[in-house]
Structure 1
Amino acid sequence: MDRLSLLGILLVLIAIFGGQIAEGGSVDTLINGAAAIIVFGGTLGAGMLQFSFPETRRALGMFSWVLSPPRLDFPQGVEKIVGWSIHARRFGLIGLEKQSELEDDDFLRKGLQLIADGNEHESIRELMEIELNVRELRDLQAARVYESMGGYAPTIGIIGAVMGLIHVMTNLDSPETLGSGIATAFVATVYGVGIANLVLLPIAGKLKSLVQQRYQYHEMMLEGFLSIAQGHNPLAIRMRLESYLR
Structure 2
Amino acid sequence: MRSAAAVYFGNRDIDRSAVFGLLMCLALLAVGMLAGGKVFNFLDLRSFLLVVGGTFGATLIHCSLSDLANAWLVFRNVWVAASLEPQERIRDLVHLSKRVRANGTLTLEREAQMCSDTFMSKGLELTADGQPEDDIRRILETDLRASGEQAARAIAVFETLGSYAPALGLIGTLMGLVEMLGELQNPAAIGPAMSLALITTLYGAVLANLVFLPIAGKLRLQASEESTVRTLTIEGILSLRREENPIILEQRLQSFIPNPLNSGIGR
Task: Say whether residues 1:39 and 2:51 are aligned partners.
Answer: yes
Task: Say whether residues 1:195 and 2:225 are aligned partners.
Answer: no
| Counterpart secondary structure, 2:115 | coil
2:54–2:168 CA contact under 8 A, matched in 1: yes
Task: Say whether residues 1:219 and 2:231 are aligned partners.
Answer: yes
Residue matched to 1:13:
26
Q: State the 1:97 CA deviation.
A: 2.0
The normalised TM-score by structure 1 is 0.90
Task: Write out per-residue CA displacement over residues 93-132 of structure 1, whole angstroms, 9 at most, x where no aligned residue.
Answer: 2332221111111111111111112112222112211211
Q: Which amino acid is the alignment partner of residue 3 of structure 1?
A: R
Task: Write out per-residue CA displacement over residues 154-212 of structure 1, whole angstroms, 9 at most, x where no aligned residue.
Answer: 11111112223344445556543432222111100111122112211111111101000
2:86–2:228 CA contact under 8 A, matched in 1: no
Query: Counterparts of 1:19-58 in structure 2 under 5 Å?
Result: 19-22=32-35, 24=36, 26-58=38-70
- Paired with 2:135 and 2:114, the residues of 1 have a C-alpha distance of 23
| Counterpart secondary structure, 2:82 | coil
Residue matched to 1:139:
151
- Paired with 1:212 and 1:27, the residues of 2 have a C-alpha distance of 40
**Over the residues paired in the alignment, what is the CA RMSD in angstroms?**
2.1
Structure with higher helix content: 1
- Paired with 1:138 and 1:41, the residues of 2 have a C-alpha distance of 25
1:111–1:128 CA contact under 8 A, matched in 2: yes
Residue matched to 1:83:
95
| Counterpart secondary structure, 1:118 | coil
Task: Write out per-residue CA displacement over residues 200-240 of structure 1, whole angstroms, 9 at most, x where no aligned residue.
Answer: 11111111010000000111111100111112012322232
Residue matched to 1:210:
222
Q: Which amino acid is the alignment partner of residue 42 of structure 1?
A: G
- Paired with 1:183 and 1:140, the residues of 2 have a C-alpha distance of 38
- Paired with 2:62 and 2:82, the residues of 1 have a C-alpha distance of 27
Residue matched to 1:233:
245
Residue matched to 1:4:
17
1:69–1:210 CA contact under 8 A, matched in 2: no
2:55–2:168 CA contact under 8 A, matched in 1: yes
Residue matched to 1:126:
138
- Residue identity over aligned pairs, in percent, reads 33
- Paired with 1:157 and 1:5, the residues of 2 have a C-alpha distance of 26
Q: State the 1:142 CA deviation.
A: 0.6
Residue matched to 1:68:
80
Structure 1 portions without partners, runs of 5+: none
| Counterpart secondary structure, 2:130 | coil
Q: State the 1:11 CA deviation.
A: 3.0
Structure 2 portions without partners, runs of 5+: 1-13, 263-267
1:59 alignment partner, one of 53, 66, 71: 71
Q: State the 1:80 CA deviation.
A: 1.9
1:93–1:115 CA contact under 8 A, matched in 2: yes
Query: Counterparts of 1:159-174 in structure 2 under 5 Å?
Result: 159-172=171-184, 174=186
Q: State the 1:134 CA deviation.
A: 2.1
Q: Which amino acid is the alignment partner of residue 100 of structure 2?
A: A
The normalised TM-score by structure 2 is 0.83
- Paired with 1:69 and 1:59, the residues of 2 have a C-alpha distance of 18
Q: Give the 4+ runs in structure 1 shifted more than 6 A.
A: none
